[in-house]
Amino acid sequence: MGAEMIVLVLLVGTALAFDFTNGFHDTGNAMATTIATGALKPKTAVLLAGVLNLVGAFLSVEVALTVTTSVLKVQDGKTGHLLPSIDASTGLTIIFAGLIGGILWNLLTWLFGIPSSSSHALFGGLIGAGLAALGTAGVNWIGVTQKVLIPALAAPVIACLVAACGTWLVYRITRNVAQKRREEGFRWGQIATASLVALSHGTNDAQKTMGVIALALITTGHLTGDVKEQGLPFWIIFSCAVAIGLGTYLGGWRVIRTLGRGLVEIESPQGFAAEASSAAIILSSSAAGMALSTTHVATGSILGSGVGKPGAEVRWAVARRMALAWLVTLPAAGIVGALSFWISHGVARLTSPLVGDGLIFLILVGLSAYMWRRSRRPTVDHNNVNADWDDSTNSVLPADGGEAAKAPDDKAAV
C-alpha cells in the first residue's frame, strides 16, 4: 500500500470519527426536550434518535454536494477534477487538517456541555486549513456566504420566531384543557416530532461527512466527474449513516442536559412546538442543499418555546454563553485547522507527507483521549441528565442518579 493510500485510509477513518462525534454532540437537538419532559426515557430516546439518524442519512445527498463544491476551491467546477495547481498530497492534508479542527472543537464544547455547531466546526476547520495552504484563493467565499454564513445567522432567529408563535398557539388552543391531561397528550406528540427531528438531522449532518470523504476521493482521483450526476458510492453513504447513528445512540449527555434543563424549564407543549419547528426548518434546508447548523435551529426553537409561553423561565445567561460559542466556533476551528496543516506540511518538508499527516493524527488521538478522561469528572449520563440545574456551576446534583435525577413524572415516560 502506497503512502498516499495510507493517508487516504487514515483520512476516511478520521472523517467517520468526526461523523461519530457529530452524532453524540447533536443528539440533544432531537431528544433533549423529550427527555426533559419525560416523554421518553433517556436510553429509549437516544436509541430511537440513532436509528432515525441512520435512516435519514440515506434520504438525500444535496448537502453532501454542497460540501464538495461550496467550501474549498480544490476542483474544477466543470469537470469535477482536482485543480492542476494542487497536488493530491496537499489536498489530502488540507482535508485532514480541517477534520482535526472540527473534531477537537466538537469534543471541547461537548466537555463543557455547550451545544455548538458541529457543521460550523467542520467548515471552520476546512476553511482554516484551506487558507493556510492556498491563501484566500483556496476558499469558495460565495459558496460559504450563501450556504453557510447566511443560514447561520437566519436559522436560529427564524426557528425562535416560529417556535414562539407555535408555543403561544398551543397554549392558547388548549387553555381550557386540564394541565395534567394536556401534558400527557403532548408527551405522545413529542415522540412523533422528536422522531422527525432525528430523521431530518440524518438527512443534513451525516451528508457533511459524506461530502468530505467524496472530496478526498476526488483529490486522489478515485472519484471523478460530476458527483451530482453520478451520485455517491454506496459504501460512503452506508458508513457515514452507521457512524452518526452509533454516535447518536451513545448520547452526548452533557449537551442534552444543557438543552433540556439549562436553557428553559420546559413543558411538553413547549417541547412539541420546538421540535415541530426544528424539523420543518431542517428538512426544508436539506432539500435546498443548505449545510444548516441543526444545533442553531434546535437551540433557537427551544429558546422560542420559552419566549412563547407567558411566565416561562428563560436562562438568558446560558443563552449568551451559547451565542458566544457560536461566534467563536468558525474561527476557533479554523485556527486549529490551520495549525494542523502547518505542522503536517512543515514535518512533510523534512521527511514525507505520510509522516506529517501521521503526526497530526497522533496529536488528535492524544488530545481526544485527554478530553474523554476529563469528561469522567463528573460523569453525566442517562442516570443524572435530568437532575436539577445549578446555574452557578452547571453541575448535576446529585451525581449518583438519585431522586432528583429521575425524569419528571417517571410513570408517564415511555
With 0-12 / 13-18 / 19 or more C-beta atoms within 10 angstroms meaning exposed / middle / buried, residue 130 is buried
Burial category of 5 from C-beta neighbours within 10 Å (exposed 0-12, middle 13-18, buried 19 and up)? exposed
Question: What global pTM score does this model have?
Answer: 0.83
Asked whether residue 391 is domain-assigned, the answer is no
- Give 341's pLDDT tier (boundaries 50, 70, 90): very high
- Residue 239 pLDDT > 60, yes or no? yes
How many structural domains are present in the chain?
1
Q: Are residues 165 and 309 in contact, defined by beta-carbon separation less than 8 angstroms?
A: no
Distances in Å between the Cα of 273 and the Cα atoms of 186, 191, 258, 399 are 9, 12, 18, 31
Q: Is the pLDDT of residue 12 over 70?
A: yes
Give the three-state DSSP class for 57. coil
Confidence of residue 42 (pLDDT cuts 50, 70, 90): confident
Question: For 264, phi and psi rounded to 5 degrees?
Answer: -140, 140
Does any domain span residue 406?
no
Interval 107-157: pLDDT, tens: 998 888 788 888 889 999 999 999 999 898 888 888 888 878 888 888 889
257 falls within a domain? yes
Classify residue 398: in a domain, yes or no.
no
Please report the pLDDT score of residue 13 as a whole number: 94
Position 394 in a domain: no
Q: Which domain holds residue 244?
A: 3-385
Question: For strand 395-397 and strand 388-390, is the pairing parallel, antiparallel, or unpaired?
Answer: antiparallel
Distances 207 to 61, 129, 232 between C-alpha atoms, Å: 6, 20, 10
Question: Strand, coil or helix: what is 388?
Answer: strand
What are the tens digits of pLDDT across the range 288-299? 666 678 888 888
Classify residue 411: in a domain, yes or no. no
- pLDDT mean over 95-116: 89
> In the structure grid, which three cell numbers stand for residue 404, read together?
432528583
Report the C-alpha gap between 252 and 345 in whole angstroms. 34
Q: What mean pLDDT do residues 33-50 have?
A: 86
| pLDDT, greater one: 198 or 377 | 198
Residue 261 has pLDDT above 80, yes or no: no
In a domain, 268, yes or no: yes
Q: Give the mean pLDDT of the chain.
A: 82
What pLDDT score was predicted for residue 391?
54
408 assigned to some structural domain? no
Mean pLDDT on 360-386: 85
pLDDT confidence of residue 408: 39
